[in-house]
Amino acid sequence: MSSPTPERRRILVVDDNPAIHQDFRKILTVPEGLDELEAMESVLFGSGRVRSRALDFELDSAMSGEESVRRVKAAVEEGRPYAVIFMDIRMPPGIDGVEATLRLWREDADVQVVLCSAYSDYSWDELSRKLGSSERLLILRKPFDNIEVRQMAHSLCEKWELLRQSHRRMDDLERAVEERTRALAEANMRLMRAQKLEALGRMSAGLAHEVNNPLSYVLSNLRHVQMGLEKLLCTQEAQREGEDLREACRDAVFGAERIARIVQDVRLFARLDEPAKEPVDVREVVEHAVSLAGTTLRPGIRVVRDFQEIPRVLGNDVGLGQVFLNLIVNAAHALEGRSEPCIRLGLARCADGRVAVEVQDNGCGISPEHLGRLFEPFFTTKPVGMGTGLGLSICHGIVTRLGGDITVDTVSGQGTTFRVLLTPASGEALEPDAPERKLSA
């Protein structure tokens, strides 16, 4: 198999005199057919004299400064830029070589320029003032020494190639730095969220603990009063008079029971009731959560199951049941007023062997300004009395305590997918052979 021919370096000669172009062509290119002749000679006479292909540049000509700028621009656009330009200084009536160099460097900052002149049109100082002290510039006095031109072409092409390599390396480096910075910012955000939730957890634990005791007196005393009242108000007259009291008592019990439920949620969030971990059949727990969601899943909502074979996971069915129930209830709420409401429940194995449980809805979606606050306790967009804002923070707490993760994908106005990632129970890990699958929207 022959090795690929290396890309030939492109050189542009700019001069208003056609004879100069021919000179350059003789110096810098291998005449057509010479290669084959030399190869034949080498085979026949064993001379070993095959001229190096490195001599063979791709040469282009421009007859004026303006044309050179156009050619440089086109070469950049084609993705085949010139490496070196041999530029005559005097080219009346158009722009001179110095002006042309200034303009073409705006099109291609890397191209190496050799200014050719028989006269001392510009002093080096003047050139430096006009073009800046540039490392991309050399001066060549006419008449040329062929060897000098060849050496210049070679070493400038080499320099140009090294420059391009270092640019490519810088680009790669910049991309790597950007990627690292992004990953770091993400990790930082996750850490801050975890710390914030941790602090809120400690505070909630204290609060729940403090509220729980007095609340249980209030509730049990209220229930006692309620029962006492029922006995006292057994006559019709007493019942009429005591109706107000009875109603006040019922309201108080209702309110206190609601507080008790909130405290129970806070306890869950604050890790006060940590159940033991055991292998759990997720499919069963999801089905149980669907039946618990009961009437929240009004008949109009289509529930689609997209279940793959999955191993049992490490967790506990009460905690995980709570997670799936919260997610399903939230999905059902998000579907209110939507046409063709649908919830997809997905069970799948990820490429890394973990189990993914997805609860997806085609509901209202979550706006970007709410997305960052979803897992904060007491964050809710629901009307007062409808939501406590504890559901997702509890889900987050339960799942992360099991060593899992919970993520969300949402498109405002189109729907949301919550994804719970769980670790298989030991000895249960199926081979992670199937490619990771995500439920389609």
Q: Which residues bind ligand ADP (CB under 6 A)?
A: 326, 330-331, 334, 361, 363-364, 366, 370, 374, 379-382, 387-393, 416
> Which tokens sit at 303?
């529930």
Could you give the CA distance from residue 205 to residue 263 in angstroms, rounded to a whole number?
Answer: 9
DSSP characters over 31-48: PTTHHHHHHHHHHHH---
Nearer Cβ to ligand ADP (43/371): 371
Distance CA 413, CA 334 (A): 10
d(CA 60, CA 87): 12
Given strand 302-307, what is the order of strands in its sheet? 302-307, 342-349, 355-361, 415-422, 405-411
Between 211 and 408, name the residue whose CB sits nearer to ligand ADP: 408
Least distance in angstroms from the C-beta of 334 to ligand ADP = 3
d(C-alpha 173, C-alpha 180), whole Å: 10
Which residues 6+ apart lie within 8 Å of 271 measured at CB?
Answer: 201, 205, 397, 401
Shortest distance in whole angstroms from residue 9 CB to ligand ADP: 60
Cβ proximity to ligand ADP, 49 vs 261, nearer residue: 261
Beta carbon nearer to ligand ADP, 97 or 363: 363
The one-letter code for the residue type at 354 is R
CB of 192 to ligand ADP, least distance (A): 19
Nearest distance in Å: CB 374, ligand ADP:
5
8 A C-beta contact, residue 343 and residue 332: yes
Report the residue number, 297 or 364, with the smaller CB distance to ligand ADP. Answer: 364
Long-range contacts of 130-137 (CB under 8 A, 24+ apart): 130/98, 130/102, 131/98, 131/101, 131/102, 136/105, 136/110, 136/111, 136/112, 137/101, 137/112, 137/113
Pairing of strands 10-14, 58-62: parallel
Packed helices 65-78 and 97-107: angle between N→C axes, nearest 10 degrees: 20
Q: Closest distance between ligand ADP and the C-beta of residue 257, in Å? A: 17
Nearer to ligand ADP, 152 or 327 (CB): 327
Q: Least distance in Å: CB of 329 to ligand ADP? A: 7
Q: Are 333 and 418 contacting, i.e. CB atoms less than 8 angstroms apart?
A: no
Check: CB of residue 91 under 8 Å from CB of residue 14.
yes
**Closer residue to ligand ADP (CB): 223 or 271:** 271
Quick one: 49 or 302, whose CB is closer to ligand ADP?
302
Query: Least distance in Å: CB of 71 to ligand ADP?
Result: 58
Least distance (Å) from ligand ADP to the CB of residue 72? 56
Measure Cα distances from 218 to 51, 231, 265, 266 in Å. Answer: 103, 20, 19, 19
- Indicate the residue among 15 and 361 with the shorter CB distance to ligand ADP: 361
In this complex, which beta carbon is closest to ligand ADP, that of residue 67 or of residue 409? 409
Q: What is the DSSP pairing of strand 415-422 with strand 278-280?
A: unpaired
Q: How far is the CB of 371 from ligand ADP (least distance, A)?
A: 9
CA–CA gap between residue 296 and residue 318 (Å, rounded): 19
Minimum CB distance to ligand ADP, residue 366 (Å): 5
- Identify each DSSP E strand in 362-424 by its residue range: 405-411, 415-422
